[in-house]
A = this chain, B = another copy of it.
Amino acid sequence: MRYTCVMSKTAKGRATRQSFQDAARRVFERDGYLNARLSDIAEEAGKSMASFYNYFDSKEALLTDLATDFDTELQAKVAEPFERGLAPHDALPEAIRAFYRHYRTRLPDVVGIVQASMVDPKFAADWREIRTNGVRTISIGIRRAQRDGWAPGLDPMLAASALSSMLEHFCWVWLAQGGDAIDVELEEDHAVDTLWKLWSHAIYWTEAE
């Protein structure tokens, strides 16, 4: 999370800044980050391009802001079920749901980060960091399950990576790309339930079985 940005002192300035972020979100969702021109964002915000530069150094700088917020909130929301005191097994579906919802709510930000990471090494690094946080958390859960006798012999780190991929890419496909099937409107409950079933059975098994 590197690029810098300027904090406005007045309410009007903050409002304008916000309007650029909102406009950017709409444009990212509509055209994608890479196809979004600064002029589109400015137009969508009802401001001039020059005004944009009073608040952000560049399109990348704006996205960095969005990404930082995205990351911070994601960490908090996913951790919440576990910190609330639920048993790991019960917290899991809640965490999956939190991830799914966050992805859907902040979809433009995801689109931005994913696309930017395709062309900009800085963003690739940022996005990787965000992802790694999730993988680490998952691997801890797997290790804990293994101490209880589940999934003997499974590589916790690699399995966490794979499960993270499943969750992340499933959300990408269905929320950002329109899904794998035409004419199917995906229900949140159904998606979360399916992911949870796969996930839990992928971990909570024993050799005996």
Could you tell me which A residues sit within 8 Å of B by CB distance?
Answer: 32, 34-35, 114-115, 118-119, 124, 128, 131-132, 135, 151, 153-155, 157-166, 168-170, 172-174, 177, 179-181, 184, 186, 190-191, 194-195, 197-199, 201-203, 205, 209
State the main secondary structure of chain A at its contact with B.
Answer: helix
Q: Is the CB of B162 within 8 A of A165?
A: no
Q: How many copies does the complex hold?
A: 4
In the bound complex, what is the Cα–Cα distance between A173 and B131 (angstroms)?
Answer: 10
In the bound complex, what is the Cα–Cα distance between A158 and B195 (angstroms)?
Answer: 9
In the bound complex, what is the Cα–Cα distance between A148 and B155 (angstroms)?
Answer: 29
Pick the contact of A162: B34, B159, B161, B194 (CB < 8 A).
Answer: B194
Report the nearest B residue to A114, measured CB to CB.
Answer: B118
Q: Is the CB of B158 within 8 A of A165?
A: no
Chain B residue contacts of A203, Cβ below 8 A: 201
Nearest 9 A/B pairs, CB to CB? A166-B166, A165-B169, A169-B169, A202-B202, A198-B202, A161-B180, A165-B170, A158-B194, A201-B205
